[in-house]
Structure 1
C-alpha cells in the first residue's frame, strides 16, 4: 500500500494489537481462479516467526483455499477505524482557504504464503480457539465441546485450515501527522463532536497516538 513516511507504523506490538482488534480480516490472493478475496476471522500467534503467524479456515466449497495450497502469496488486510475529514476543521481554512477533504484511517497489511491443512484434530483446535476468543466475556460462553461430536466431525470435514507465517508487515496510521498542530487539534475536536461512533473511535485513536 502507498505509505508515506509520516504515516508509517513500524512498532510490532502496535501492529499486532491492531490485528487483534480487527474482528474480520480480508484475505486476498491471485491464482488459477483469478483474483479472490475472502472475509475471515483469524487468530494471531505473535511469537511464531519474525512477525507472527495467522491462522484461519475456509469453507471447503470456497475455491480460494486451493490457490493458497498451490503456493499463491496472500495479502491479509486488517482495517482499523476510519473517518472523513472535513476541511472546515482545519485552522488553515480560516487563514488561507487552501484546504481539501481527506480520509484518515488505520490499516495493517500482512503478506505471506500459507500452509493449508485438513487434519481433523488440528482443525478442531483451531475452531475451538476461535470460539473461545469470540465467546469470551459473554455471561455463558458457548464452547465447541457442547455440540455433539459426530456433528462437529461433519462440520470439520466441510472446512480447510491454514497457517500463514507473516513475511511482510505494513502499518499505516494516517492521522493527519502531515498537518500543523492546530489543524490536528481541529480534526480531533471535529471527530469527537460527531454523532457517528466510528468518528469518535478514530478521535480516540488520534488521542492515543499523541
Structure 2
C-alpha cells in the first residue's frame, strides 16, 4: 500500500483497534487461477503471535483459500469521506485547491491455513458472535447456545475455518496531516455538517490530530 510518511500508522495497538472496530474485511489471494477475494467477518487474536492472528470462516463449498498457497492480504477499509476544497481557507483567496478523499485502512499479511475441527470451529463462532452481538448493542445478546445443539452441529459441518498468523501489518490514516492545522480544521468542520457516519468519523479523526 502506497503510504507517505505523514499518513503512516505503525502503532500495533492502534492497528489492532482498527481491525477490531472494522471487523469486516476482504481476504485476497493470488494463485494459478488469478486473484481472488472473499468478504468475511474477522476475529483478531491480538496476543497470538508477535503481530496477532486473524480468524474467519467460509462455506465448505468455498475453496478459495485451499486452492491458493503463499501469502494472503486481508484488507480492512475503515471510514472514508470526500474532502471538498470549500473547507480550506485558501480557497476563498487564491483558489489553488483541489478535492481529495480521506480514509483509514489497514492491510494485514500472512499465510492462511484452514481447519475443520468442530471444537475449534465452534469456539470461533462463539467469539465472532460475542463480538458482533456486543457491537449490535442488543438488550439480550444472542448466543450460539440459543440454537439447538444438533442444528449448530449441522452448521459447523458446512463451514471451514481460516487462521492467518500475521507476519506484516500496515496502516494508512490519510487525514490531512500534510496540510496546515487551519486547513484540517476547516475541512473537518465542513465534514461535521454532513450526516453520514463515515463523514462524522473522519471529522472526529481529523480533529484528534489537531494540536
Compute the TM-score of the two structures, normalised by the length of structure 2: 0.94
CA RMSD of aligned residues (A): 1.3
Q: CA deviation at 1:78?
A: 0.8
- After TM superposition, the structure 1 = structure 2 runs for residues 123-142 of structure 1, keeping only pairs within 5 Å, are 123-136=121-134, 137-142=137-142
- After TM superposition, the structure 1 = structure 2 runs for residues 31-70 of structure 1, keeping only pairs within 5 Å, are 31-67=31-67, 70=68
Q: CA deviation at 1:132?
A: 1.3
- Mapped pair 1:13 → 2:13: yes
Q: CA deviation at 1:195?
A: 2.9
Q: CA deviation at 1:162?
A: 1.3
Deviations 1:59-86 (A, max 9, x none): 111121213xx52321111111110000
- Mapped pair 1:148 → 2:148: yes
Task: Name the structure 2 match of 1:167.
Answer: 167
Query: Structure 1: how far apart are the matches of 2:9 and 2:179?
Result: 17
Query: Structure 2: how far apart are the matches of 1:181 and 1:141?
Result: 43
CA contact (8 A) 1:108 1:172 kept: yes
- Aligned residue pairs total 208
Task: Name the structure 1 match of 2:202.
Answer: 202
Compute the TM-score of the two structures, normalised by the length of structure 1: 0.94
Query: Structure 2: how far apart are the matches of 1:165 and 1:94?
Result: 50
Q: CA deviation at 1:95?
A: 3.0
Which deviates more, 134-143 or 46-55?
134-143
Among 85, 107, 110, which residue is 2:108 paired with? 110
